[in-house]
Amino acid sequence: MREITGSLFQSLDGVIQAPGGPEEDQTGFAHGGWTFPYFDASLAAPMGKLLGGAYELLLGRRTYEIFAAYWPHNADQPIGATFNAIRKHVVTASDGALGWNNSFRLAGDPVAAISRLKESDGPDLLIQGSSMLYPALLPAGLIDRMVLITFPVMLGRGKRWYADDPSAARTWTLVEQTHSPKGVHVAMLARDGAVRTGSFATKPPSADERALRQRQAAGRW
């Protein structure tokens, strides 16, 4: 069985839209290219580890179209050579042609299609961008690892990747992390188990606390 890693450039407020440049997304997003000022040589090792090795790409349609318009024309870059050579699995409801070589359509229900792909033989799968995949895959427990590359910037609005679904609740275990001098935090996390809770209270609640809880429960807070 393959493992799936989700990889995201994210702002402090969880925006992942158009990190690479202003020209990447022409839908009116005001801050395209917001990661550029923070890249330096210190990120070469963690990025090389993420994008090196054997894997196939798992992409949503919009990220696929962005990549397919760029990487075939930039094959002289190391990442471009890799992306052009490996298989690309594209989750799409469109019947439009997938013109980038080694591209394969995953049609129908995304969870069912990706579950079948995950159970098949082959290299592990890497998600790049593709914000629309996470609300489906996280609740289904199909993502094994997350690599969150967090930049010290808040963007206010834009596409986010979180799954607003109670069944997505779970814990993750830190596998490794690194920091850059400019404040970029790279963390690899492995899927763990159920959310564990507790309380710091050391004595019974006061009358004020009990009254507050009653107002909260009644929706009058």
Share of the chain above pLDDT 90, in %: 84
User: How much is the pLDDT for 141?
Assistant: 94
Q: Which element (helix H / strand E) includes 57?
A: strand 55-60
Own/partner contacts of 38-41, CB < 8 Å, gap of 24 or more, are 38/151, 38/152, 38/153, 38/180, 38/182, 38/183, 38/184, 40/180, 40/181, 40/182
Q: Model-level pTM? A: 0.91
User: How much is the pLDDT for 26?
Assistant: 84
**Amino acid letter at 204?**
P
User: How much is the pLDDT for 30?
Assistant: 93
Compute and round to an integer the Cα radius of gyration of the chain: 20
Domains of the chain: 2-216 (3.40.430.10)
Q: Where are the alpha helices (DSSP H) in 158-203?
A: none
User: How much is the pLDDT for 97?
Assistant: 87
The residue ranges of the chain whose pLDDT is under 70 are none
User: How much is the pLDDT for 77?
Assistant: 87
User: How much is the pLDDT for 73?
Assistant: 94
